[in-house]
Amino acid sequence: MSGYGNPNVSAQAQRNGTSSPAKVTLHLGHLPEKGEIKAPYPRSPGRIDPNNPPWPAYRGYHEYSFAHATMHSRLPTILGKAIEDATRTLNEESLEERVVDLAQCIDRMEELMADLSGNAKLRPIVDDGEADVITWNKEITKFFRGKDFMSAPWLFAEAYKYRRLRECFSVSKFWNTYDVFYRQKNDTFSRSSEAVFELAMRFAEPGLISKTTHPNQKELDAQRLIFLELTQVCLWGNSTDLSLLINMTEDQIRSLQSTGGEHLAATEQNILGNDMERIWETVKSIRETKADHRRIDFVLDNAGFELYCDFIYADFLIQSGLATEIRFHGKRYPWFVSDVTKKDWDWLINNMCYGHLFPEASPAEMQALRLLAQRWKQYERDGKWIYEQHPFWCTGYTYWDLHSEAPDLFFHLSHSDLVLFKGDLNHRKLTYDCAAPASTPFEEAIGPMASASGAPKIVSLRTVKSDVVVGLGPDGNEIAKRLDEQEPGWKISGKYAVVLLSEGRPGEPVTFE
């Protein structure tokens, strides 16, 4: 429609033939001052979208927040180290075509660094043939047009950075599968020898765990204790992820990874929301009621030592008959520094089987590692352990949108008897990464992942490494307030944890509008 004759269009605009609206300035000097009106939270479901989570979003421009520290300092540091890694590889390469190709990848990383440090606007992802391009660009276009690294919600901006990093390599000819974090990921495992052998020497021999699906009371009590301790091993395995380890000494890592019983009893006090007993009752009742097929899913987090702890736990679940099948969900490409890819999965098992990573280990210790790896390989061959990598896990969407954006994945997970989400990022995505009060029940905080028809039972095993904290019970707000006062930084130290269970609505029909 032409703007001519339209009273809302300025005379200048009419003369130019353009149609920008006229500016009218009102003077409101006699009206009352603007009041401080708080938006109602949680937002009603119809008003929630990736730029407007149910409770206020964390954004990089919130100075003095962890979101700001991450966007402003941690991510550029991580990217700088990634550039160093690629440069090291470049210097080792000899063939011209490959050298030139990798140099171009590094140029693209430098561009990303300039965008990140210069707080550029978030541009669409280029079509690099990845399965998630459409999902990414849909989300950017619908919710983040004109937003930059600091003004978009932290979770999205941070995930976007890792997707842009992927793009630096995915468009190349020879370096498409290159992982700039691979060297670092391997290192965490070799630097964890004490805890690695502590567990290997205890669990290498099979048959130590009663296999019967109807154990007597004594066997059941023993299994319960192992289950509770291994749940903690699996949980605390998450506290040593690489994105935060940059400045940690060997001693600090060793103390975080300690697996002794006394240590676990002490660390249980740091589990602020603790559903471990309920989880034990849940897996026990699955075994009692489902005769043939009992499936547990792990939505994995980090490679190396954490993955090793996950394997130990999953091995126990199979040996005890609590599960007959375990599906592991990993990432399709390098993600948040330490997350598991298929290559990391293969590396760990094959190195345990054939590698020489631990020159100081005794022959018995090396044999224990080999026995474990051989058994785990057999689980893979038997289809008891299955690795999967749905593209949705590497998008910027939170899991509130899993049902709508990845219906096939939701449907798939709805067939699981229990889905375990590992780590901090998965927890942020479950809870929409927003400032929900700490007393918010877990089931409310995870929205459709608990309330949608057919939602599976869900557990979050998470050491607290970022702001969102929920599920601390009715006194949660006071607990959080006290910790804020007494231990500033408690939300990013990895010292505290939550182990939370959502009952979901398993068995009900999965529907999509």
When binding is defined by CB under 5 A, the residue of 192, 193, 302, 502 that contacts Mg ion is: 302
Task: Specify the residue, 215 or 237, whose C-beta has the smaller distance to ligand F6P.
Answer: 237
Task: Specify the residue, 238 or 395, whose C-beta has the smaller distance to ligand F6P.
Answer: 238
Residues of the chain by 3-state class (helix, strand, coil), percent to 5: 50, 10, 40
The residues facing 421 across adjacent strands are 299, 460
Contact string (CB under 5 A) for Mg ion, positions 260-299, x = contact: ----------------------------------------
Residue 70 site contact among Mg ion, ligand F6P, none (CB < 5 to 8 Å, cut-off depends on kind): ligand F6P
Residue 429 site contact among ligand F6P, Mg ion, none (CB < 5 to 8 Å, cut-off depends on kind): none
Point out which span in 66-74, 198-206, 336-344, 347-355 binds Mg ion (CB under 5 A).
336-344
What is the nearest approach in angstroms of ligand F6P to the Cβ of residue 500?
15
Could you say which DSSP state residue 414 is in?
Answer: T
Task: Specify the residue, 310 or 424, whose C-beta has the smaller distance to ligand F6P.
Answer: 424
Task: Specify the residue, 175 or 336, whose C-beta has the smaller distance to ligand F6P.
Answer: 336
Encode 267-293: b = buried (16+ Cβ within 10 Å), e = exposed: bbebbbbbbbeebbebbbebbeeeeee
Q: How far apart are CA 489 and CA 469, in angstroms?
A: 13
Which residues contact ligand F6P (rule: CB under 6 A)?
Answer: 70, 74, 158, 238, 241, 243-244, 301-302, 336, 338, 423-425, 428, 465-466
What is the nearest approach in angstroms of ligand F6P to the Cβ of residue 244?
5
Does 162 sit near Mg ion (CB under 5 A)?
Answer: no
Does 336 sit near Mg ion (CB under 5 A)?
Answer: yes
What is the nearest approach in angstroms of Mg ion to the Cβ of residue 310?
12
Residue 134: CB atoms within 10 A of its CB come to 12
Residue 244 site contact among ligand F6P, Mg ion, none (CB < 5 to 8 Å, cut-off depends on kind): ligand F6P
What is the nearest approach in angstroms of Mg ion to the Cβ of residue 425?
5
Task: Specify the residue, 324 or 466, whose C-beta has the smaller distance to ligand F6P.
Answer: 466
Q: How far apart are CA 91 and CA 29, in angstroms?
A: 67
Residue 168 site contact among ligand F6P, Mg ion, none (CB < 5 to 8 Å, cut-off depends on kind): none
Task: Specify the residue, 324 or 338, whose C-beta has the smaller distance to ligand F6P.
Answer: 338
Encode 294-312: b = buried (16+ Cβ within 10 Å), e = exposed: bbbbbbbbbbbbbbbbbbb
When binding is defined by CB under 5 A, the residue of 339, 344, 417, 443 that contacts Mg ion is: 339
Residue 162 site contact among ligand F6P, Mg ion, none (CB < 5 to 8 Å, cut-off depends on kind): none
Burial of 44 per CB tally in 10 Å (0-12, 13-18, 19+): exposed
CB-side neighbour CA atoms (13 Å) of 468 = 29
Residue 132 site contact among ligand F6P, Mg ion, none (CB < 5 to 8 Å, cut-off depends on kind): none
Residue whose tokens read 């540091």? 77
What is the nearest approach in angstroms of ligand F6P to the Cβ of residue 258?
19
What is the nearest approach in angstroms of Mg ion to the Cβ of residue 390?
17
Give the residue among 338, 49, 352 at the shortest CA–CA distance from 200: 352
What is the nearest approach in angstroms of Mg ion to the Cβ of residue 24?
52
Q: How far apart are CA 46 and CA 41, in angstroms?
A: 13
Does 399 sit near Mg ion (CB under 5 A)?
Answer: no
Does 421 sit near Mg ion (CB under 5 A)?
Answer: no
Task: Specify the residue, 75 or 283, whose C-beta has the smaller distance to ligand F6P.
Answer: 75
Element housing 199 (H / E): helix 193-203
What is the nearest approach in angstroms of Mg ion to the Cβ of residue 426?
8
Residue whose tokens read 């030139």? 100
What is the nearest approach in angstroms of ligand F6P to the Cβ of residue 430?
11
What is the nearest approach in angstroms of ligand F6P to the Cβ of residue 306?
8
Task: Specify the residue, 75 or 369, whose C-beta has the smaller distance to Mg ion.
Answer: 75
Q: For strand 497-502 and strand 458-463, is the pairing parallel, antiparallel, or unpaired? A: antiparallel
Task: Specify the residue, 295 or 331, whose C-beta has the smaller distance to ligand F6P.
Answer: 331
Q: Which residues lie closer than 8 Å to 381 by C-beta, 6 or more apart?
A: none
Burial of 106 per CB tally in 10 Å (0-12, 13-18, 19+): middle
Task: Specify the residue, 259 or 466, whose C-beta has the smaller distance to ligand F6P.
Answer: 466
C-alpha dist (Å) from residue 405 to 51, 123, 136, 398, 411? 16, 21, 11, 10, 12
Task: Specify the residue, 319 or 389, whose C-beta has the smaller distance to Mg ion.
Answer: 389
The residues facing 498 across adjacent strands are 273, 462
Could you say which DSSP state residue 70 is in?
Answer: I
Q: Is the backbone peptide bond immediately before 153 cis, with ω within 30 degrees of 0?
A: no
What is the nearest approach in angstroms of Mg ion to the Cβ of residue 301?
4
Task: Specify the residue, 147 or 428, whose C-beta has the smaller distance to ligand F6P.
Answer: 428
C-alpha dist (Å) from residue 513 to 397, 441, 452, 510? 19, 27, 12, 10
CB 464 within 8 A of CB 273: no
Does 301 sit near Mg ion (CB under 5 A)?
Answer: yes
Encode 424-461: b = buried (16+ Cβ within 10 Å), e = exposed: bbbbbbbbbbbebebbbbbbbbbbbbbebebbbbbbbb
What is the nearest approach in angstroms of ligand F6P to the Cβ of residue 426?
6
Point out which span in 50-58, 150-158, 302-310, 353-361 binds Mg ion (CB under 5 A).
302-310
Residue 446 site contact among ligand F6P, Mg ion, none (CB < 5 to 8 Å, cut-off depends on kind): none
Contacts to Mg ion by CB under 5 A: 301-302, 336, 338-339
